[in-house]
Amino acid sequence: MSNAFRSFRHRLTALAALALPLMLAACDEAHPRDAYAHPAGDASEISAWFYNLYLILDTIIFVGVVIAFFAAIIKFRKKPGDNTLPEQNWGDSRLEIAWTIVPTLVVLGITVPTLGGLFELAKRPDQNQKIIEIDVVGKQWWWELDYKKEGINTGNEMHVEVGTQVMLHLTSADVIHAWWVPRLSGKRDATPGRNYPLNFRPKEVGSFDGQCAELCGASHALMGIRIIVHPKDGPDSYESWVKHMQEGAAKAATPEQEAGQKVFMNKGCVACHTINGVAELAPGSRSRTSGPNLTHVGSRDFIAAHTLKNTPENIARWVKNPQEVKPGALMSNLGLSDQEAKDVAAFLSNLK
Ligand code: HEC
Ligand SMILES: [Cu+2]
């Protein structure tokens, strides 16, 4: 074996060793945000269908152009010994008509079905069926979720039911945000003073993650979303989630949790947060909404809009210094001691 070949082979191996992990990293088992290969709702199925249509058409056009390009290079290249000027060409009507008409047909060919898809997505759902309606308010940097009919106010983690129509009404309390959970539907802006609808029907049970998709300030990148799609029946059904959420908060059960409740009541947390049955509201108002409703905060998977896993340690870290976790976070640093943070975390974690 020659040295040159050996070093070539080594380089190839090194390249493969470098590239393989990168390529495998793309093969994420759970593909949590891959809308095109794994749509999980009717709206995302429509987007995926168009994505695949364009991909096929574009591939055909790309391959055709590349073949024509190389054919022209090879056919018309300068022959050895031939020093005459090539034939000078000042336009060819047939060619020009052809390259105007063909792209026009291609564009029309994708415009017509695309318009059909847009109308399909904008259709108001049939009102004679079960509809889960949720008011979604984007806030720097979390989502308030209000189920008016059910009387549930919560944040960041949306619960819905498989096979049931969902209608969101999106708005914002401050700047423009955008709701985007790719596997269930496309993006929709949440704009102050506007109310934009977004409809989808989930087809798969599971957890689907998303993200605010409109630059909205310092912690824009830490403004996540999770949608939990429940089955229709069984202990984990959507209806049992609704019943559970309609109950007040769990009672503090240990001395630590009781101490934590005192911290919560006395340190100013109640200025921004509601806990049904613990930190109640003036009659008529539904929730103090400058911070997420914490009545069932212990049952969330994450806190601070998908930023930290929901553990007592992380709640303690968050309440001690929210800005350390999320730059610019609009929750005050109330100067809790380590012990107070630990107690309040024990109290909040118990609010399942
Ligand atoms: C000035 C209003 C304000 C005060 C006072 C306040 N918070 Fe908050 N809190 C917020 C806001 C706003 C958020 C959402 C921040 C984000 O995710 O960007 C939040 C989020 C939280 C969260 C995470 C909830 C979730 O589901 O993501 C917890 C837990 C929390 N606060 C506990 C407390 C405790 C305990 C206190 C008192 C020591 C307190 N807060 C005081 C405004 C406040
Ligand atoms: Cu945002």
**Residue 88: its pLDDT value, please?**
85
Phi/psi at 235 (nearest 5 deg)? -65, -25
| Ligand 1 neighbour 344 (Cβ under 6 A) | yes
Rounded CA-CA distance 28/17 in Å is 19
The full set of domains in the chain, from first to last, is 29-74+124-245 (2.60.40.420), 255-349 (2.60.40.420)
Report which protein residue has its CA nearest ligand 1's atom 12: 291
* CA of 179, nearest ligand number: 2
Q: Are 146 and 134 in contact (CB under 8 A)?
A: yes
* CA of 174, nearest ligand number: 2
Half-sphere exposure of 331 (CA within 13 A, CB side): 26
Q: Closest ligand 1 atom, CA of 336?
A: 38
**Residue 85: its pLDDT value, please?**
86
Across the beta sheet with 142-147, the strand order is 152-155, 142-147, 131-139, 165-172, 196-200
Report CA(224)–ligand 2 centroid distance (Å).
Answer: 9
Prediction pTM value: 0.86
| Ligand 1 neighbour 304 (Cβ under 6 A) | yes
Coil, helix or strand at residue 230:
strand
Rounded CA-CA distance 120/186 in Å is 13
Rounded CA-CA distance 260/252 in Å is 9
Report which protein residue has its CA nearest ligand 1's atom 18: 141
Alpha-carbon Rg of the chain, whole angstroms?
A: 28
Q: Are 300 and 310 in contact (CB under 8 A)?
A: yes
| Ligand 1 neighbour 241 (Cβ under 6 A) | no
Which residue is listed with tokens 């640093």?
Answer: 333
| Ligand 1 neighbour 298 (Cβ under 6 A) | no
Pairing mode of beta strands 206-211, 196-200: unpaired
Which residue is listed with tokens 């429940």?
Answer: 230
Consecutive 10-residue runs of the chain (352 residues): their mean pLDDT?
60 64 54 80 94 92 96 90 85 92 92 92 93 97 96 96 97 97 95 96 96 97 97 96 95 96 94 88 71 96 97 97 96 96 97 96
